[in-house]
Amino acid sequence: MRIRIATALLSTLALACGDDSATGMSASEGGTTGATESSTSGGEAGSDSVGSSGTTEATTTSTTATTAMTTGAGETETDGSTTAATGETGDLDMLLCGTEPPDGAEVAPPIPTFGGICPTIELGFLEGDDAAPNEIMTAGGPRRFAVVAPEDIADGEILPVIFMWHWLGGSAHDFYERSEVASAVEELRFVAVIPESKDDVLFKWPFTSLDTDERLEEEFAFFDDMLGCVDELFPIDANCVSSTGVSAGALFTGQLAGGRGEHLSSIMSLSGGVGGVVKPWTSSAHTMPAMVLWGGPKDFCVAVDFDETSKALEEGLEKDGHFVVECVHNCQHSTPPFDVPMGFPTFAPLWMFALDHPYWLDDGASPYSEAGGLPLGYPEWCAIGVGSSDIRVGECGPDECS
């Protein structure tokens, strides 16, 4: 039985800078390079791409991986009991995405239906081509996006969806390649949707006070249309649709939480936020768990003070009753210095957060709270609750905003 969690998930947080200055960041050692082969799907071809990797095997892999992560470096407990990062003990029933919601729980509304003809989806990226391969005619005209999914999907298996919004100087291909999304989706069993910015506004995505509400709504419609078309091809878990972004992409994720929160099960903001030059927080139609991570008091890039915007996001989330995990390092606008147990990918807790928090959780609830603390593998500078984390002390790499 395999005990692993995607040996190559995220060098994405190297991207926490607002431009291309982080391009020297490499993925975790031992990771596999994301596949560049693309497969055409849709209609009958789409059925062919849904293969025969049994549901039992996928579930066993995920459960085993979670157990390994929560028990520390290379150690697995057989009774399911783990020690949380706070020192408390409890049973961590993780990876709730893909499981049946309890009777009477609030479930997500149906996935939006695309009003046009969905493109034939190419998976990944065409070899030698950096452009996101899928084009869709949406509210603001033609837009491009990438889709990455497990090669073999079992009968009856349903897959979470994670949207990934790139940073200011990056692209969908950069996000795909540097976070090694291909191996991540295989290991953790989800569909990644990576939008390409339209590049018609100052900071790639419409989130500043200068961007019109109409332009923001256009981007929300792009989200709807991508989700609708992905749902046509894959067996999607409507109760596990999450959004994450880095820097500019995180600032847009904060807006998406308010604009399309009725479809989101969780969000992860990596040096993002609201307020200041960014549009303010808008209350969400659904109370969703959120991870808010930034580089501390000196996290500043271009015109955004990410310390202030991240705290403003937390304030809005807390006021509206959202569960929050706060992570604050001291490395400004640069790669967070994660230190997880040996054998695990450097940024594993980020994807695990999304997969641990389905839509149907009670408002403000989290399996982490029920277990008495964060799973082992989360850094010591992460904690449950706004203002509860201790800012990391230690050396950092260079600030990556230039």
- Residue 339 is classified by DSSP as -
pLDDT at 74: 35
pLDDT of residue 213: 96
Strand 300-301 to 236-246 pairing: unpaired
Do 245 and 278 contact (CB within 8 A), yes or no?
Answer: no
Query: CA neighbours within 13 Å on the CB side: how many for 342?
Result: 3
Neighbours of 130 (CB within 10 A): 12
Which pLDDT score is estimated for 167?
Answer: 93
Q: Tell me which residue of 160, 63, 95 sits closest to 349, measured CA to CA.
A: 95
Cα 89 to Cα 58, 78, 226, 319, 360: the distances in Å are: 27, 15, 41, 29, 25
Specify the pairing of strand 290-294 against strand 266-270.
parallel
Beta-strand runs (E) in 205-294: 236-246, 266-270, 290-294
Contact 49, 39 (CB under 8 A): yes
Specify the 3-state DSSP secondary structure of 400.
Answer: coil
Contact 81, 2 (CB under 8 A): no
| Tokens at 55, concatenated | 């549901």
Tokens of 262: 């009725």
All structural domains of the chain? 12-100+107-384 (3.40.50.1820)
Sign, Cα dihedral of 363, 246, 143, 275 = positive
* Dist CA 291 CA 268 (whole Å): 5
pLDDT in tens, 80-117: 333 333 333 333 346 899 889 999 999 999 999 999 99
Contacts of 214 (CB under 8 A, 6+ apart): none
Q: Is the dihedral of CA 170, 135, 207, 307 positive or negative?
A: negative
- Backbone φ and ψ for 55, nearest 5 degrees, come out as -60, -40
- Partners of residue 122 on adjacent β-strands: 40
CB distance 310 to 271 below 8 Å: yes
DSSP class of residue 376?
B
Q: Checking DSSP bridges between strand 290-294 and strand 324-328, what pairing results, if any?
A: parallel
In this predicted model, what pLDDT tens digit does every residue of 264-301 receive, in sequence order? 999 999 999 999 999 999 999 999 999 999 999 999 99
In the chain, which residues have pLDDT < 50? 1-93
This prediction's pTM: 0.80
Helix (H, G, I), strand (E, B) or coil at 93: coil
